[in-house]
Structure 1
């Protein structure tokens, strides 16, 4: 089994939905684009990532949302050995169709009280639902690891909540531990590094919620 040396999780750059909540009433979530700031964040993330990866081969898995695809392109991981797969299971948590801003606020408050993992949006998913599809993606990922020519680097371009749930599943964190963590900022990454003992560790932790 050719287990990768690095598994890099990258959150997309700032999108239109991060700066204008009313856009969810007019534009599908999957079709939101990066803002100019988001493009700069993606370019900066690419510069950092290329400095670490050098010219090593890369297998990339990208959420099909427009903002994640744009982020991936701006990472500029150009190399002949690059393999790219669009992976729908890495998509954002579904809220369900076009949305009403007042309902978004109401449901976010309800989710904060109920818990991010178990709360299910009226027409969408719970965090637990996303966790389940992350688990299904793991089955594909581990099958791919069995290829003798599998690249030493994996890059996943995805969303903040999914990054936390990926690590929760990978490291067997409890629901309470997941709930205590906050999403990375737009354009941020976390890297899982393979150690000499055959176990992965994360290069830096997620920030924890501040209750003060």
Structure 2
């Protein structure tokens, strides 16, 4: 088959961490589960995806976090021809280990003023680090495209920031462009669709909270 016709990215449904910040003091980020609302969001997204995929085969890559696997299972794609693989490079931005909620809130405020791409959480990652591992994953993906039997659909079950950085890397957006974009809501999708000439386009844009500056405006 070669290059797929569509690459679908979905953010996990609402998790315990989205509902209650204090849970990070008691439960590791990777072990957070979906709420009842998150399960409903995933099931609703699954109904839409089943219409999109129809009877076509799908190659799925899933972040290793509990909430992303729960989202994948709640999509209800069992009756389709889907092969699902765990892909650690699609995980959430690492914030460290056990977290002090007040400290994380301070760091989030600092990140808002410093920039989501360059700010590095203490004992964790910057957005730039996530960008680099997404680039590594894309190299794996491109090699998979070379298989003659590669399916026409790719599904990535991941996280909001990771979705934005995947698209930034794929479409060669600038850092300034990335910084103006908002995360999709829980259970939301974005699709990269193959157009004429094999170039991909986004089915709908990410919401913006600002206007990007022109690149190269720094003094460094």
TM-score, normalised via structure 2 length: 0.94
Return the offset for 1:191.
0.2
Q: State the secondary structure of the residue aligned to 1:120.
A: coil
Q: Which runs of 5 or more structure 2 residues have no equivalent in the other structure?
A: 212-220
Return the offset for 1:81.
2.7
Q: State the secondary structure of the residue aligned to 1:8.
A: strand
Q: Residues 114-162 of structure 1, C-alpha deviation per residue, up to 9 Å, x if partnerless?
A: 1000000001000000000000000100000000000000000000000
Residue in 2 that maps onto 1:59: 59
The 2-side partners of 1:176 and 1:156 are apart by 25
The 2-side partners of 1:163 and 1:173 are apart by 13
Whether the 8 Å contact between 1:180 and 1:209 is mirrored in structure 2 is yes
The equivalences for 1:1-212 within 5 A come to: 2-79=2-79, 81-209=81-209
Return the offset for 1:196.
1.9
Q: Residues 71-128 of structure 1, C-alpha deviation per residue, up to 9 Å, x if partnerless?
A: 0001111246311110000000000001001001110011011100000000100000
Q: State the secondary structure of the residue aligned to 1:190.
A: strand
TM-score, normalised via structure 1 length: 0.98
Whether the 8 Å contact between 1:57 and 1:79 is mirrored in structure 2 is no
Q: Which runs of 5 or more structure 1 residues have no equivalent in the other structure?
A: none
The 2-side partners of 1:80 and 1:21 are apart by 36
The 1-side partners of 2:40 and 2:113 are apart by 35
Whether the 8 Å contact between 1:11 and 1:189 is mirrored in structure 2 is yes
Aligned-residue RMSD, C-alpha: 1.1
